[in-house]
Structure 1
Amino acid sequence: MGDQQIFMANMHVFNIAARTLSFTLAAQELNMSQSAVSHRMKKLEQQLGFKLFIRKTRQLALTPEGERLKITVSLSFDSIYTELNDITHDELSGELYIGTSNGFASYWLMPRLARFQQRYPNLDIRLQAQNNAYDFDYEPIDVAIYYLESPPTNLHYEKILNEQRMPLCTAEYAQQLNLEQHGIEGLRNATFIHRSQSQAWQQWLDIIGSDINPNLKKYSFNHSDLYMKAALNSLGIVMGRYQFAQKALAEKTLINPLPAIDATASYYLVCRKNTDQRPKYKAFRQWLLNEINNDI
């Protein structure tokens, strides 16, 4: 076996040993002896020129260098196995890792995922929700949906959905402010519901041409679920997104008593470059576009 083949074989053993943090468990998984695993790891450390493991009595830990290498190696092998699975299986199966924001996951994606499950019953969804951008180099994400003002040039992207910003409240709260008669001026007595650190209310008021200060009387929340529930409980009026509010508007649990404006950001479907032809990505993309078209 050539040096490169030996190196790659040792990297595979490292991937298992780093995941299990046990040469014994790695040996069982690889059908090797414990001493063979230990020997390969020592050889790999010699090849790399730095330590990968901290060897203690009955305990194994990764060095900082080992931790960094584990992330890269794990993603690399996962990518290889995913590619092989796509090549060798005509039927869509396995796992699809989707990343998006908490709000989009809760209000747009979750109500529709049952239809995706019915269409692809053998494809398991792993949905990860967070409001920060995903690092495709270090996180096991196959596809993400971002809400952005400009697309990410380091990734493959496609704009899939526009957005509108609109004031939302209960009919009872609108009546309390007498918005039907007073219009925007009725907001002078309103409690403004804000997303933490968001300037959405001020931007809307500037475009509408109002000098009302949305910060004089306000509630602030750091999560989309909270600020939408605050509006549903008549705590005030929220600057919401139409895509998040479709169900509430249809059921009339919230109303849009004042003008909507086009948002400066849009929703983008993104993935690593050169992975947009993978069957799982293409299946999810087509299902997503069908759902969007059905909403129009």
Structure 2
Amino acid sequence: MKEPLRNLSLLVDFECAARWCSFKLAAHELHKTPAAVSQNIKQLEQLLGFALFERYARHLSITEKGSELASTVSHLLADLHIKVTALRDDSANDSLRISCTHSFAMKWLVPRLHRYTQLHPDMDIRIDSNDAVVNPSQGQCDIAIRHQQYVAADSGNLLWREQLLLAYSPALLNDRDSRLRQPPGLKRLLRYPLLYEATPENWIRLLQSHGLLEQPHDFAQNYSHAGLLVQAAVAAQGVALLPASIAYEDLQQGRLLRLADTQLSSRYCYRIVTAPSRSVKVSHFIDWLHAEMGHMQQYFEEAQGKL
């Protein structure tokens, strides 16, 4: 670079022009004239010492170096926007932004969130449910609850080690099964459709452990999220191996029944990620999460004893 780049507005103009590959459209977005945008791009090229665009009579073409720079500048501006938004939204201490998966938000967090708001009625809870990985250190949220593969050696931020439970809706059973004095056993339940998330791998693990893998089974229905899988089981679409945390509410309310001696360790868990320095509100919410998980663990232990 011939001299230091002190005018960052040149990068803003360049990023916009690169996105549109047009000075005219960039000028429209930036509320400038095409001539002003063109002049700023030329100035930036002079400072950088290389061309950003190839200029033709009727169109622009971004150069290879220009494309690389545009990608970097785009990410930097996006991070800056996220940080500024976070600082504006979180200037007060009465909001808490939580990022987690759709299934965890819908089937675990939201159904019990009222207990937290009763303890902290002035706290504004904002839940962003998506599967994208966000970074609390960059101000994208205060707490991220991530669904990750379980690693035994990494327990520092562990929230819940997931377990898989074989469960079904009472409405699923046919008349003959309903008349049985005892709940139907594994072999009888396997006659129904076997529901699964993404891949039947967990079913294969369970069937193999019970010596039932060679029998024919109906793997007809596949769901993309655990929450959908639980809803399908509640709707009596078949029998499912369900993540305990996601099925908890429906098991507790009797919408699902659990079969004894069919628990399977999941290869996944939930972990808490925060910025290195935690605020008091973040620490309080994490304490509440662990307490709720403790109540759930106690429920499963007591339910296991009754099976």
Partner of 1:210: 211
SS at match of 1:252: coil
1:78 aligns with 2:81: yes
Q: Give the structure 1 partner of residue 304 of structure 2.
A: none
1:266 pairs, out of 246, 266, 269, with 269
Query: Equivalent residue for 2:301?
Result: none
**2: CA distance, partners of 1:17 / 1:124:** 38
Which deviations, in whole Å up to 9, do the C-alpha atoms of 1:114-168 show, x marking residues without a partner?
56677486757361423xx63759x9853533322346x9xxx721112221111
Instruction: Specify the alignment match of 1:129 in structure 2.
Output: 130
Structure 1 residue 248, shift from structure 2 partner: 0.8
TM-score, normalization by structure 1: 0.69
SS state at 1:202 partner: helix
Residue 181 to residue 147, structure 1, CA distance change in 2 (3 Å): same
CA gap 1:169/1:19 in 2 versus in 1, 3 angstroms: same
Amino acid at match of 1:69: T
CA contact (8 A) 1:170 1:232 kept: yes
Partner of 1:146: 146
TM-score (norm 2): 0.67
Unaligned runs of 5+ in 2: 299-307
Displacement of 1:107? 1.2
Q: Per-residue displacement from partner, 1:153-209 (whole Å, max 9, x unpaired)?
A: 9xxx721112221111012435754593652232342321122324111222334x3
Give me the whole-angstrom Cα distance separating, in 2, the residues matched to 1:54 and 1:123.
51
Match of 1:22 in 2: 26
Tell me the residue number matched to 2:166: 167
- Which whole-Å CA distance do the structure 1 matches of 2:111 and 2:53 have between them? 45
Two-structure CA RMSD over aligned residues (Å): 4.6
SS in 2 for 1:263: strand
1:165–1:239: 8 Å Cα contact kept in structure 2?
A: yes
Pairing 1:4-23 to 2, within 5 Å after superposition: 4=4, 6-12=6-12, 22-23=26-27
Give the residue type in structure 1 aligned to 2:52: K
CA distance in 1, matches of 2:290, 2:71: 37
Identity over aligned residues, as a percent?
Answer: 19
Among 167, 176, 201, the residue aligned to 1:199: 201
Contact 1:195/1:222 (8 A) holds in 2: yes
Partners of 2:169 and 2:236 within 8 A in 1: yes
Name the CA distance, whole Å, in 2 between partners of 1:241 and 1:248. 12
Alignment length, in residue pairs?
278
| Contact preservation (8 Å) 1:187, 1:212 | no
Distance 2:104 2:289 in 1: 13
Unpaired segments ≥5 residues, structure 1: none
* C-alpha contact (below 8 Å) 1:103/1:244 kept by paired residues: yes
Once the two structures are TM-superposed, the CA of residue 262 in structure 1 deviates from its matched residue by 3.2
User: How much does 1:85 deviate?
Assistant: 4.9
Is 1:42 paired with 2:45? no
**Residues in 2 aligned to 1:12 and 1:120: alpha-carbon distance in whole angstroms:** 42
Separation (CA, whole Å) in 2 of partners of 1:213 and 1:265: 27
8 Å contact kept, 2:168–2:236: yes
Name the amino acid aligned to 1:277.
S
User: Aligned pair 1:106/2:106, yes or no?
Assistant: yes
Q: CA deviation at 1:270?
A: 3.0
Contact 2:5 2:47 in 1 (8 A): no
Which residues of 2 match residues 177-256 of structure 1 at below 5 A?
Answer: 177=177, 180=182, 183-207=185-209, 209-213=210-214, 216-223=217-224, 224-256=226-258
Please say if residues 96 and 125 of structure 1, whose CA atoms lie closer than 8 Å, have aligned partners that are also in contact. Answer: yes
- Which range moved further: 260-269 or 10-19? 10-19
